[in-house]
Structure 1
């Protein structure tokens, strides 16, 4: 029996940032998802598609509509979306009307390229969630699975909390 691949849509955010010493800035570069899934020895089939490379603070409603249209049009019923954490909950709201799909948004509070990143753990949580959760929209951060619409980012604490 062959499984339908999990679709990974990348949108940017801290998870795919790299620090450049010359400019003292973080810049979003090519995605680390393929490498993280390889290191994690993920055997479940997956496909990775880049939607955009943006910090989530730079995203607008048109960007969220693009992400939602890509998810809605995809043949995959299980979708993981990498996203910046600052506006992840806003994008989750834009995805709420998509029926029949399990969609999990995931990000990181430190770039995947950093030694002490939360990216591999969060991505693993997203892959597990997308395989077992009922259709709907979820966010996986900080070792927790949140239903979209029932979570906010607590910027001071640097974590997501249920509301």
Structure 2
């Protein structure tokens, strides 16, 4: 099957801010809109698993993500995810064989004009098509091995371990 599965879990990529004094909310996913704007023609299926900040993800949530990937007929999967615990989720997915899984997020919401979300999603969508089976993270213009990466909060970027 050539279709790509996109699983959305929440995170900054889908955050909404109402004003400077408000707390954020994770809104409806913007993935479909971003892919339509980019005129993506490759078939994909999007499934919303949850709307959570990655700091709120539990082991049960990660098990749900893993089960959705394992049970999917698609072999190529993109997972939108918050950046704070993305590497932890990548570690939790390492036992899934025969699938290319690319986790992606954003350091600022996709709804912001100067967000990295569109670039990151495009990179993840492309990486899912060409990367070998395994778990990957597409962030900061780099495709990282999901088993050897961490978020460096001092520079607000992902780095290889």
The CA deviation string for residues 53-97 of structure 1, in whole angstroms up to 9 with x for no partner, is 000000011100000000100000000000000000111111111
Which residue is 2:10 aligned to?
12
Distance 1:122 1:22, change over 3 A: closer
The CA deviation string for residues 92-130 of structure 1, in whole angstroms up to 9 with x for no partner, is 111111111000000000000000000000001101100
- After TM superposition, give the deviation of residue 4 of structure 1 in Å: 2.1
Which residue is 2:29 aligned to?
31
Which residue is 1:89 aligned to?
87
Which residue is 2:114 aligned to?
116
TM-score normalised by structure 2 residue count: 0.97
1:56 to 54, 57, 66: 54
Q: Distance in 2 between matches of 1:156 and 1:18?
A: 24
> Alpha carbon RMSD of aligned pairs, Å?
1.0
The CA deviation string for residues 31-58 of structure 1, in whole angstroms up to 9 with x for no partner, is 0000000111111111100000000000
- After TM superposition, give the deviation of residue 22 of structure 1 in Å: 8.2
- After TM superposition, give the deviation of residue 21 of structure 1 in Å: 2.2
- Structure 1 segments, 4+ long, off by >6 Å, are none
- After TM superposition, give the deviation of residue 23 of structure 1 in Å: 5.5
- After TM superposition, give the deviation of residue 24 of structure 1 in Å: 1.2
Structure 1 unmatched ranges of 5 or more: none
1:67 to 56, 65, 68: 65
Structure 2 unmatched ranges of 5 or more: none
Secondary structure, aligned partner of 1:85: coil
